[in-house]
Structures are given as C-alpha cells and as structure tokens.
Amino acid sequence: MRLWLVIFLGLLVSACSHPPTANQSSTQVARADVFIQAGHEGRSSGKMGSTSQFGREIDWTPVVADAATHYLRQAGFSVIRADANWKQKTDTDLALFIHFDGSANPCATGASIGYDDPSDRPAANAWKRLYSQYFRYRWQQDNFTKNLSQYYMFKHTRTRDAELVLELGAIGCPEQALWLRPRLPQLGQLVAHFAAERMGYGNRIPRPQM
C-alpha cells in the first residue's frame, strides 16, 4: 500500500473511533422515572447538615433515600439515587431531595417543602396531605428559606411533574426527632408510595405502617 493511503486510512480509523470527551459525558442527560437525593450525603466540608443529640441529618437522609429507592426499584421504577455532589443534568418525572431541618430554637421548626416553580405546587400539596396523616408536628410555610426556594440542585433536574425539597421534620426537637428516628425506612417507603402515586401507580407501593 502506498504511504499516503496508509496515513489516510489511519486518520479515518482514528476519526471514527474517537472516544467521547469528558465534557461530553458530563453534559449527557441522565434519564429515569425518579431522582432521589440524600441531602448532605458525601460532603466532608461546607453544608454538612443539621446535628443534634438525637442524630445527624447526614446519617438520616441516606436511610430514607435508600429505602425509597429500594421500594421504587422493586416496583419496577427506575431511580437515579444521588448524593450531595451530583453534577449531571437529569430528566425524570419527579426529583425529591431528602432533608431534616435544624434550628437554634429546635422546636420552632418542623416539616416543610421547597420548590422553585408554581408548577411544582400540586405535588407539594399532595405530599403535605399525605405526610400530615403521619407527621403530627409543626409545618413551616413552603419555601420559608432560600435553601428551599433556591435549592442548589434545581439547576440539574428537569422534571415532568415536580422537583421538591422534602424537609421531613426537626432533628433537634425531642418529640419530632424521637418520632422520626425509628421510622426512617418507613419514611422512605412513604416517599416511594408518594412518587408512585404521582406517576399514576399508587397501588404498586403500599403505604407504610407507622
């Protein structure tokens, strides 16, 4: 073969088998039915979450997120299970960010919901109706802090239904924390039931006993 032909064929092969660049893989959109993030999980500095004598938020959120993921996958739904360092863009029906609240005045806070768009409100109201049947303590106004209304992960998640920060209660308030702590897996099941119901399959994941 003539040298120019060898070079030409070599260039052709290398052009066709060009590996994807790092840039391409990070801009690729991850798709699933549900995105679930355990708040603060994976952080070793910065916003490490609330702590109290009853426990650490950073330890509680993965228990809830893992249980929710387990129930959803078992029922046939696909789940992106993310920690606090997730960077990729996602496209899902729902995106749920699990947190517990803390406050200098521990029982002044409680459960709440954060979202950045009026289109998220029907799902937020549905969660409040459902969780209120179990959680009999204080609720804060929706979006009562900027960490809720301008949650940093909203820029990565695109959803058909809603993206919600779910603050499940106050980790420092004795009566709330002592109710929450032994029920973390059941809270995950409730989150999974809620997600399935929003997607039109509420009967696939039963409500937890608690």
39 or 62, CB closer to Zn ion?
39
The token pair that represents 100 in the structure block: 């517990």
User: In the window 28-87, what residues touch Zn ion (CB under 5 A)?
Assistant: 39, 49
93: helix, strand or coil: strand
> Does residue 110 touch Zn ion according to CB under 5 A?
no
- Bridge partners (DSSP) listed for residue 79: 34
- Bridge partners (DSSP) listed for residue 170: 101
E-assigned strand segments in 55-189: 55-56, 79-82, 90-101, 111-114, 157-170
User: In the window 122-181, what residues touch Zn ion (CB under 5 A)?
Assistant: none
Per CB under 5 A, the segment of 85-93, 96-104, 115-123, 171-179 that binds Zn ion is 96-104
How are the residues of the chain apportioned to helix, strand and coil, as percentages rounded to the nearest 5?
40, 20, 35
> Does residue 99 touch Zn ion according to CB under 5 A?
yes
39 or 208, CB closer to Zn ion?
39
67 or 166, CB closer to Zn ion?
166
77 or 127, CB closer to Zn ion?
127
The token pair that represents 20 in the structure block: 């994807």
The residue ranges that bind Zn ion (CB under 5 A) are 39, 49, 99
